[in-house]
Chains A and B, each alone.
Chain A
Amino acid sequence: MPSQTTSTISFSSLVPWLIAALVLCVMPFIFTGGGSITIMNQIGITIVLAMSYNMLLGQGGMLSFGHAVYMGLGGFVAVHVMNIVENQEIWLPLPLLPLVGGLVGLGFATIIGSFSTRKAGTVFAMISLGIGELIAACCIIITVFFGGEEGISGDRTMAPPTFGVEFITQKEVYFLIAFWVLISTFLMYLFTQTPVGKMANAVRDNPERAEFVGYSMRWVRYVSFCAAGFFAGIAGALFAINFEILTEQNLNLGASFTVLLATYIGGVGFFLGPIVGAILFTLLQTVIGLQTDLWALYTGVVFILMVMFMPAGLTGLFAMHIIPWQLGRIGMLIKPYSKIFIPGTIFIVGAVCLTELINHVRHHGDEEFMTLFWVEFNTRSIVPWGVFIIFTAVGFWFSRALAVEVKEAWGNATFVEGVRR
């Protein structure tokens, strides 16, 4: 992604976008395996939502516990519009529906943001929590609009055909989603390049100094909040198109928490962070979720470790390596990294196996055999216990010993005369 700050769009700055578009186009032809398009659609929606969330958390420093509200409201209206279109009361091709969702998200964000963005920090977080709970509760009470617990469903194929496409198959929907992911990402990128977008970062980092430039902190937060609401609404409409149903679960606290988790794991300080987070989190949820019922525990542990040791997220981890790369010393890191990779992997595998084994014995103890990493074994025998404990202990011990080496190499690789990093 380009980091240049010129406001004119030159051809060279468009290149990454063209590559992204190309990748999005060929993806469904590479991954044709069962379920992959379903998962990719879901990833696409999460990307838009996570990026819009990052406009608040990463760019504006506003911790929201109710961001799913704007996605949900946009989605609910989108389903209603879908049903109106089905009755042929208005004419609207399906690919334009996300715009409707976006405007709804924008509308609600304009209203709620007018009082919630007065303060940042804890006050903002608590207001977002309160609003989230209120609207989720209304969802159950106001059945005329929200349909109660079962939600509102529609049929996307009933819209007028767009160039002959009726959006019957998953693949057709994929291209619609991919198109909007690209458009939204591009627009959000442009937002970061506007004066308000840049000021948002400044307000996050040092509110007092930002005021001196002449911008009102509150105004900057408000504009970011509205923009985030708009893109969340787009994500909601995409959800409506993909799943053809919206329920209370789309806008309750749980949904908002999920966005926070996904965005943070990816890395909040970077434009690409939420994309990485959305992809990884969805995969964790769906692919790992198929393998183990402890997926949420792993996600939580990874999340906590990230907050503690890698506050910049996964993208931050990559970004850290730009400096040694620029210094031409990335080679110095390869050896210690590959050395720690083996015991590190052994430790993680051992720990995961041990966790799974204990879980199995405790909660599924009635089944004697269990399968882990394609190996079936008897849980009553002492062998797996011994092996996993040794794996964990040995892996941990060696990783710790080698960590010193990595630290040293890192120091050397980033060392610049006269500069302390």
Chain B
Amino acid sequence: MKILKKLIGMALAAGVFISSGAFADTVKIAFIDPLSGPFATTGSNGLAEWKFAVEKLVNEKGGVLGGKKMEVVALDNKMDGKESLVQVQVAIDQGIRFIAQGNSSGIANAITDMVKKHNKRNPDKRVIFINYSAVDPALTNDKCNFWHFRFDANADIKMDAITDVIAGVPSIKKMYLIGQDYSFGKAVAAAAEKYLAQKTSIEIVGNELHPIGKVKDFTPYARKILASGADAVITGNWGADMVNLGKSLSESGYKGPVYCYYCASNGITATFGEAGKGMLHLVGEGLQNPSRPALTAYHKAFKAKYPKWDLSQPRIINAAQMLAAAINKAGTADDMVAVGKALEGMEFYSEILDTKVLMRAKDHQAIQNVHVGIHTNDDIDIDFDNSGYGIKVFKTVEMASMDSPTTCKMKRP
């Protein structure tokens, strides 16, 4: 037992040593998202976007703090809560001060909670959590803290934009809400109820949650939606749940629009193809058609390096640049209080995405232009999945939900 433990321990120490690699002269960001297992595509795509943004927009423009390079360290959380916390701890143990994560609000909740506790217990080793994709509104409301910064528009903001569009379509009289049974799905449903009541007189004919990742056949749901006489559907579904829902709807003879949060890229656009044309209405920041010269150039360079991936999470561009700006402004990459204070309230203009970004100080929620676009293959400059299909923007809400209220009571160090 003793010998065995010794051997294993040696292997353990060696492994950790190798992986840490010790570069003192770079500012490291730990990228913690799924890189293996069924959800790895979103994670790997995000990693490519991070690496490219950091290289192209920070390092090639002189780095931070007068020449230091930024470096993205990829850590695989296998889409698992426990593994995420282990990886955060591994990152902290390696001296990394910036944690970037995005896939799954549940994991983001766990990380923000851990970061809060860690920073309280270890004032000399504080870290900042860059949430680039998890959109559960609670993260910038009840569960907000000084160390968490969200660069994506949250579920409420996106719903605000969707309902702006819906309010302008008089033919929609009945709405069906369907989502996955977890915090994000519930947040989408709650926001839809709230904004539809505020802005329209649309009747909600169905509001339901289905078990996440457990429904094998969505046909009965599609039948129910058709039978309810709904003119439009709003869903926060992602992954196979999104594709199966959309496919079942179109197979069952549904003709109306489906307003969705995650119905593009990572194979979804290619799988829908012609079937999704005119049906899928995607809400998001940084949607890409029609393109602009700065975006076209950036996209072209990205595709040259990563032909298989898309710019599916464009806020990463903002996150990388704003973080670099904050580090420069604070003059340090070690004092997280200073970096945090520099980041909150920061205003930034992204030439590539043609939007102003404001990191709201009161809840650390980024405010930016939010678009609604449609899945099509007409007039597409930048497609997804190399399929010829992409999202064409037809409505832009500038600085969406700029003055929205928050329940956040930020405690600053």
Contact with B along A139-167 (1 / 0, CB 8 A): 01100000011110101010000000000
B197 at the interface (CB under 8 A from A): no
> How long is the Cα–Cα vector from A147 to B214 in the complex, in angstroms?
19
Q: Chain B contact residues: over half helix, strand or loop, or mixed? A: helix
Contact A150 B109, CB 8 Å, known A38-B86, A155-B117 = yes
Decide if B19 touches A287 in the complex (CB within 8 Å).
yes
Q: Which residues of B contact A286 (CB under 8 A)?
A: 15, 86, 90
Which B101-116 residues have C-beta < 8 A from chain A? 105-106, 109-110, 113-114
Q: Which residue of A lies closest to B91 (CB)?
A: A35
Which of B3-11, B171-179, B278-286, B389-397 is the interface stretch?
B3-11
> How long is the Cα–Cα vector from A16 to B109 in the complex, in angstroms?
43
Decide if A366 touches B1 in the complex (CB within 8 Å).
no
Contact A245 B81, CB 8 Å, known A38-B89, A290-B76 = yes
Q: Which residues of A contact B75 (CB under 8 A)?
A: 290
Q: Which residues of B contact A35 (CB under 8 A)?
A: 16, 20, 89-90, 93-94
| Chain B nearest Cβ from A202, distance in angstroms | 27
Q: Which residues of A contact B19 (CB under 8 A)?
A: 287, 290-291
Contact with A along B374-404 (1 / 0, CB 8 A): 0000000000000000000000000000000
Q: Which residue of A lies closest to B15 (CB)?
A: A287
Decide if A34 touches B36 in the complex (CB within 8 Å).
no
B205 at the interface (CB under 8 A from A): no
Contact A247 B81, CB 8 Å, known A35-B90, A293-B76 = yes
Which of A23-31, A376-384, A394-402, A405-413 is the interface stretch?
A23-31
A286-B86, A287-B16, A293-B76 given; 6 more Cβ-contact pairs under 8 Å: A36-B9, A148-B182, A244-B113, A279-B8, A290-B15, A365-B307
Contact with A along B43-86 (1 / 0, CB 8 A): 01000100000000000000000000000000110101111011
Decide if B110 touches A247 in the complex (CB within 8 Å).
yes
> How long is the Cα–Cα vector from A139 to B113 in the complex, in angstroms?
20
Count of interface residues, chain B, beta-carbon cutoff 8 Å: 55
| Chain A nearest Cβ from B412, distance in angstroms | 20
A346 at the interface (CB under 8 A from B): no
> How long is the Cα–Cα vector from A240 to B86 in the complex, in angstroms?
13
Decide if A249 touches B16 in the complex (CB within 8 Å).
no
Decide if A153 touches B113 in the complex (CB within 8 Å).
yes
* Chain A residues within CB distance 8 Å of chain B: 1, 16, 19-20, 23, 27, 30-31, 33-36, 38-40, 42, 137, 140-141, 148-151, 153, 155, 157, 168-170, 239, 243-245, 247, 249-250, 254, 272, 275-276, 279-280, 283, 285-291, 293-296, 363, 365-367, 374
Contact of B305 among A148, A296, A366 (CB under 8 A): A366
B256 at the interface (CB under 8 A from A): no
Decide if B82 touches A249 in the complex (CB within 8 Å).
yes
Decide if A244 touches B117 in the complex (CB within 8 Å).
yes
Contact A245 B89, CB 8 Å, known A23-B1, A31-B12, A150-B105 = no
B413 at the interface (CB under 8 A from A): no
Decide if A42 touches B86 in the complex (CB within 8 Å).
yes
> How long is the Cα–Cα vector from A226 to B159 in the complex, in angstroms?
49
B17 at the interface (CB under 8 A from A): yes
Contact A289 B117, CB 8 Å, known A35-B94, A153-B110 = no
Q: Which residue of B lies closest to A239 (CB)?
A: B82
